[in-house]
Amino acid sequence: MTLDIKICGLKTEDAVDKAVALGATHIGFIFFPKSPRNIEPADAGRLADRVRGRVKIVAVTVDADSDTLDEIVDQLSPDILQLHGKESPERVLTVKAVYGLPVIKAFSVREADDLKKIDPYIGIADRFLFDAKPPAGSKLPGGNGVSFDWNLMHLLDGSVDYMLSGGLNKDNLAEAIQLTGAPGIDTSSGVESAPGVKDLGLIEAFFEAARNAQSETAVAGRGT
């Protein structure tokens, strides 16, 4: 099985081009004004047009109202909506019905009980994204560059499709993949030189780490 790789919080042509050239399956644009990765819908649309059809375009929003979502969908034409706030199952159903797009529902994780919070969304959200709880004082529900205890993922029903997220970088990716067997991974801070500033060298190193981790996992899995 190939690993889905999402590079999130893109704001520049060179970072978009690099991520896609290296094999990103998903790229994410952040629509959250407090984020250093926030982008205007029209600017995101122009960036997405460079690579449309070669990668899934993900719009990341946080408890966005309908007018905000209308504008984002109109200007960006995303393939997927990532809901990274406290959206209820009913809201997810409404969003899916109105826009006809799949939804990734994000959850923040610190302890085992946090994984149970997905239960009402099973059969509603198309995929889950597990991120770390924001550190105290953070203004951001995601993109904080912190990880959670990946061992918790062993508690998850194996049929749940998800992306692992939170503080992933070139140095910890192999361990995260080997420990969780995640079908998808997502990073933002781990490929940045400063908050909101993507680093082409770090993007390259992240994909190299992903390639190495996948081949090691395949070799390890062969004899079992």
Ligand X SMILES: O=C(O)c1ccccc1NCC(=O)[C@H](O)[C@H](O)COP(=O)(O)O
Burial of 95 (C-beta count, 10 Å sphere; 0-12/13-18/19+) = buried
Structure tokens at 167: 């503080």
Work out whether 188 is an interface residue with ligand X (CB under 6 A). Answer: yes
Q: What DSSP character marks residue 86?
A: -
Residue from 19, 26, 187, 210 binding ligand X (CB under 6 A): 187
Residue from 165, 170, 176, 206 binding ligand X (CB under 6 A): 165
Query: Which ranges of 7-120 would DSSP assign to H, the alpha helix?
Result: 13-21, 41-49, 66-76, 89-99, 112-116
> Please, which residues have CB within 8 angstroms of residue 147's CB and are 6 or more apart in sequence?
132, 166, 167, 168, 172, 176
Taking the complex as a whole, how short is the minimal distance between the CB of residue 111 and ligand X, in angstroms?
18
Q: Which helix (H) or strand (E) holds 67?
A: helix 66-76
**CB–CB of 39/31 below 8 Å?**
yes
Nearer to ligand X, 63 or 220 (CB): 63
Nearest-5° angle of CA 53, CA 59, CA 64?
155
Residue from 15, 16, 19, 30 binding ligand X (CB under 6 A): 30
Residue from 92, 131, 148, 164 binding ligand X (CB under 6 A): 131
Site string for ligand X, 73-112 (x = CB under 6 A): -----------x----------------------------
Structure tokens at 176: 């995260």
Nearer to ligand X, 88 or 215 (CB): 88
Measured CA to CA in angstroms, residue 92 lies from 76, 123, 143 at distances of 19, 11, 21
**C-beta atoms surrounding 175 within 10 Å:** 13
Measured CA to CA in angstroms, residue 83 lies from 18, 64, 90 at distances of 25, 8, 13
Site string for ligand X, 134-163 (x = CB under 6 A): ------xxxxxx------------------
Residue from 55, 57, 60, 153 binding ligand X (CB under 6 A): 60
Nearer to ligand X, 28 or 45 (CB): 28
Work out whether 184 is an interface residue with ligand X (CB under 6 A). Answer: no
Work out whether 32 is an interface residue with ligand X (CB under 6 A). Answer: yes
Binding part of the chain for ligand X, among 27-35, 66-74, 113-121, 210-218 by CB under 6 A, reads: 27-35
Taking the complex as a whole, how short is the minimal distance between the CB of residue 176 and ligand X, in angstroms?
11
52 vs 114: CA distance, rounded Å = 35
- Binding residues vs ligand X (CB under 6 A): 8-9, 28, 30, 32, 35, 37, 60, 62, 84, 131, 140-145, 165-168, 186-190
